[in-house]
Structure 1
């Protein structure tokens, strides 16, 4: 919601009027100096939207404010020319409305268009979210990173490296939504106050690493690559088993952490719906974008969401730090997932992160069954990952 500055207005005043932490107002207006607001300047107020209201018989500003649990000054801020003593029946005024419910449903098929719709709505309502384009997919779709928080420690989450594991994206987006809703409303999540987490952490989220692949699984082949994709899929229009990007390269076998081992032993030696590691590491634009982002941001820890197995992996070649084991214990406790230190696998994002940075990295295999997991598992998976999300920011 946008408001215009009046004489004497300050971020602190807005914080008191709207009952929102001043940090969130400051971070929603990064180009504005909080010490020198200018009359008439436009300011973002996070967590609110504007609704039109038609004055009814018996309405007063005091009554409207009380019914909506608003400070009366918030109504005057949106209606600077209103005369509270001369309200007219059928007169239309603007009222601020606090958003108290989630924007992201998640319990639905979730393609790139749906992701964009939810991202745009979240950034509009919660402008302390910073949206970055970190690269483009093979077909030119933007690869989005969402940033928030004030801390020096950056925790990174990503989802949908694999196309038919798309359910991981709405899980991650709903976690983000619940977090920002909690920040603005001052409501704890499972008894945990979230503003201290915001002040302590910087959060980086790439919700869909492989948008071309996700759209292929959910919507079928794109016209511009229909022949190539069908050839890779042996002529079948059933793409439910497709994990790779649109060029048939498995993005989570593309990182330079003993990539040569995976290249030698993986059965596909050419583009395939899954498991083909490419002709060299870091050839695909999606992987290059993630690697460059990781190098630029120097994440303190990373969590990659995959499916399935209700387990997570957290070691690589003995290079993981002691901190990883403590985190793994807590993740297992709050999720009920099996903690697995080592598996015979290389060239994944988590592997490369530990290999290069010697920092905590985790691959979570959400849910249980055959990919793509049925959307009916979404509620349970979400609840399991909510504890993991909180622990990752708390510890």
Structure 2
């Protein structure tokens, strides 16, 4: 019997049934496949409905394989007590941030972010390029902070139904008595998290009068722990730009009352993102407010973008069959933004 320390690197000679034949210190032995994690440089399966549990496991695995240039942290808790995760990728002093799944039914944005993270980490480790970008060089200058699932309670309502909530009966009541949560956008207590930020909050149009599946802004800005966590997290950093991923429309929102050189700068970057993705830029207009991007642009005076990743699909999740084409368009987005001054 030979004891092997945890995380010891071993050579796999061959496979035999449910075992690997391994070489350790000149000896051969059998180890159950279930007891070994293999370095594959591909740890995220972004296909299908990507759950909170998968997110938690994948972040831990990525952090374990890439400890030199990743760091996972919990930036807050959801209403139902789920962790709100951020992961830092890179070693650079400059920072940008990318978030997804403010809206529950838009959970494909988490798939996009996690696959982006997975591919960037692999390219950093192997020192390879993505879309012409030197990933290791980029991330040694600018770190990317990903918040892949801002609204985990809401996402799980859409994917698993009321049984995923701590108070299923209350969730069903907020959903007008329906057990079908596919159209749900809000957090578990019926507040739209992208109407929660302190930018024009008092004058948001199209606001619902009570909690429910969508468009209720809450009793005050930042009343919900998920929005407050992302707000506080952003204020702790000095991100030079940010993206909030949403899911329906093939458009990019980039404007919130900027003018002059700030507006010209932001439109130039938005145009680069449009060229990469093929998504149209939304023309500047007054109004809006309450969104993360709106607050970031107004408060930080830096470029912020809301990217809607798919063709308009109505009040439902993006079909999983769209993922591959969406991913191809968006894979370099984080690197484009990391390379901005």
- Give the TM-score normalised by the residue count of structure 1: 0.76
Shift of 1:321: 4.6
Q: Which moved more, 1:223-232 or 1:278-287?
A: 223-232
Matching residue within 274, 284, 289 for 2:214:
274
Cα distance, 1:225 vs structure 2: 1.4
Distance 2:225 2:207 in 1: 23
- State the secondary structure of the residue aligned to 2:327: helix
Question: In the TM superposition, what is the alpha-carbon distance from 1:202 to its structure 2 partner?
Answer: 1.6
Aligned with residue 142 of structure 2, among 201, 221, 226 = 201
Among 184, 191, 202, the alignment partner of 2:125 is 184
Consecutive unaligned residues of structure 1, counting only runs of 5 or more, are: 5-41, 57-63, 65-74
Select 2:39's aligned residue among 88, 99, 103: 99
The TM-score normalised by the length of structure 2 is: 0.87
Deviation at 1:164, TM superposition (A): 0.2
Residue 55 of structure 2 corresponds to 115
- Within the candidate set 229, 247, 252, 1:289 is matched to 229
Correspondence for 1:21: none
Quote the Cα distance in structure 1 between the aligned partners of 2:132 and 2:39.
21
Q: Is the 8 A contact 2:106 2:246 kept in 1?
A: yes
- CA deviation after TM superposition for structure 1 residue 260, in Å: 0.6
Q: Which structure is larger by alpha-carbon Rg, 1 or 2? A: 1
The structure-2 alpha-carbon separation of the partners of 1:156 and 1:55, relative to structure 1 and needing over 3 Å to count, comes to closer
Q: Secondary structure at the match of 2:119?
A: helix
The separation in 2 between residues aligned to 1:167 and 1:366, in whole angstroms, is 9
Cα displacement (A) at 1:224: 3.0
* Number of matched pairs: 320
Q: Using the TM superposition, give the Cα deviation of residue 97 of structure 1 relative to its aligned residue in structure 2, in angstroms.
A: 9.6
Query: Partner of 1:388 in structure 2?
Result: 333
Q: Relative contact order (alpha carbons < 8 A, sep ≥ 6): 1 or 2 greater?
A: 2
CA distance in 2, matches of 1:334, 1:258: 31
Provide the rounded CA distance (Å) in 2 between the counterparts of 1:321 and 1:102: 39
| 1:328-348 superposed Cα distances (whole Å, 9 cap, x missing partner) | 111111111111242441110
CA–CA separation in structure 1 for the residues paired with 2:60 and 2:324: 23
Maintained 8 Å contact 2:80/2:165: no
Deviation per CA, 1:37-91: give whole Å up to 9, x if none: xxxxx998xxxx84453599xxxxxxx9xxxxxxxxxx9xxx6xx3xxxx45x45
Matched, 1:352 2:279: no
In structure 1, the partner of 2:323 is: 378
Q: Does 1:175 align with 2:134?
A: no
Pairing of 1:223-372 with structure 2 (within 5 A): 224-262=166-204, 265-318=205-258, 320-343=262-285, 344-368=287-311, 369-370=313-314, 371-372=316-317
The CA deviation at 1:389 is 2.2
Contact 1:244 / 1:250 at 8 angstroms: preserved in 2? yes
RMSD between aligned residues: 2.5
Give the Cα–Cα distance (whole angstroms) in 1 for the partners of residues 30 and 104 of structure 2. 48
**Is contact 2:100–2:244 with CA below 8 Å preserved after alignment?**
yes
SS at match of 1:164: helix
Choose the corresponding residue for 1:136, options 77, 80, 90. 77
Per-residue deviation, residues 309-353 of structure 1 (Å, max 9, x unmatched): 111010111254532122111111111111124244111000000
Q: Which runs of 5+ in 2 are unaligned?
A: 16-21
Displacement after TM superposition at 1:354 (Å)? 0.7
Specify the alignment match of 1:212 in structure 2. Answer: 153
Aligned: 1:53 with 2:12: yes
Question: d(CA) in 1 for partners of 2:29 and 2:92?
Answer: 46
* 1:248 partner SS: coil
SS in structure 2 opposite 1:224? coil
Contact 2:77 / 2:84 at 8 angstroms: preserved in 1? yes
- For the structure 1 residues 271 and 192, does the alpha-carbon distance in structure 2 shift closer, same or farther, using more than 3 Å as the test? same
8 Å contact from structure 1 (residues 144, 207) kept in 2? yes
Distance 1:101 1:202, change over 3 A: closer
> What are the Cα deviations for residues 281-328 of structure 1, in whole angstroms up to 9, with x where unaligned?
010000100000011112111100001111101011125453212211
* Aligned partners of 1:249 and 1:277 also within 8 Å: yes
